[in-house]
Amino acid sequence: MNAPYELVDSHCHLDFADFAEERDAVIARARAAGVTRMVTICTKLHQEPTVRAIAETYDGVFYAAGTHPMSAAAEPMATVDQLVALARHPKFVGIGETGLDYHYSADSAQVQKTSLRVHIEAAQETGLPLIIHARAADDDIAAILAEGMRAKPYTCVMHCFSSGPNLAKAALEMGFYLSMSGIATFPKSGDLRDIFASAPLNRILVETDSPYLAPIPHRGKRNEPAYTAFTAKTGAAIYGVSEAEFAAATCANFDRLFTRAARTAKAA
């Protein structure tokens, strides 16, 4: 699928083994589909050097790092100083992903909350956006994010948003962004599409979360950044605009949130 406009995949995992044998080809297909920029996410801090090397290798690929909530109990607790030090790299553009996941990891809820607060403080210190994973923890996520905002403002994206309308409303009221993944294309995701439709277009990003959550027509297969174009097509339909208009809006939103990536792109 070729797109005559620019797209950004704001969240993918190019370091995962699914891509190891053909990373060059995956990135080439993304570019052919109009995906000129990608943010690859490190979910365990000991893997940061590998993720950083990928970002250093490819033009238009940036990275973020944090401890995924599902790994919070098994990994050493991140520190604010550690995250701030990582953030000095010019292609490091966000803090996370972090958050809460009570669907798979409710038994580590307290550790996850501690980790989330560390990441919030790092986002506040660096001025880089926080990248949030939220699953089955809407009330606690909203409360902790609001607690952090009262202490010191920061920016944030609700990655792969698939939570309820109350969390969407709370996030938007704090000035955060919602990121649309392939889930929005699924036939049974009508309620989620309604949540996006009620949000302003200037707060929407697009992502793949690849290799997971491939959109229609690739559902059930390995996802990859090129498939951002399929989710963007659904996004355009949700907002009643052309695909080119939706792509332009989400690219502008990305630049407004991920300011370091925007500056690097302009300097290149």
Percent of the chain topping pLDDT 70: 97
Q: State residue 59 phi and psi, 5-degree precision.
A: -65, 140
Q: How far apart are the first and last CA of the chain?
A: 27
CA dihedral 159, 165, 170, 171 (to 10 degrees): 20
Residue count of the chain: 268
Q: Is 134 helix (H, G, I), strand (E, B) or coil?
A: strand
Percent of the chain topping pLDDT 90: 96
The band of 99, judged by pLDDT with boundaries at 50, 70 and 90, is very high
The band of 203, judged by pLDDT with boundaries at 50, 70 and 90, is very high
The band of 3, judged by pLDDT with boundaries at 50, 70 and 90, is low
Q: State residue 52 phi and psi, 5-degree precision.
A: -60, -45
Query: How do the domains of the chain map onto residue ranges?
Result: 7-267
* Cα(255)–Cα(265) distance, integer angstroms: 9
Strand partners, 205: 179
| Each residue's pLDDT tens digit, 100-125 | 999 999 999 999 999 999 999 999 99
Q: Is 244 helix (H, G, I), strand (E, B) or coil?
A: helix
Do 250 and 21 form a contact (C-beta atoms < 8 A)? no
CATH topology classification for 7-267: TIM Barrel (3.20.20)
24 membership: H or E segment, kind and range: helix 23-32
Query: Edge to edge, what strands does the sheet with 130-135 contain?
Result: 7-12, 35-42, 61-65, 92-101, 130-135, 156-158, 177-180, 204-206
Q: What is the pTM of this model?
A: 0.96
| Each residue's pLDDT tens digit, 140-192 | 999 999 999 999 999 999 999 999 999 999 999 999 999 999 999 999 999 99
Sign of CA dihedral 44, 223, 197, 193: negative
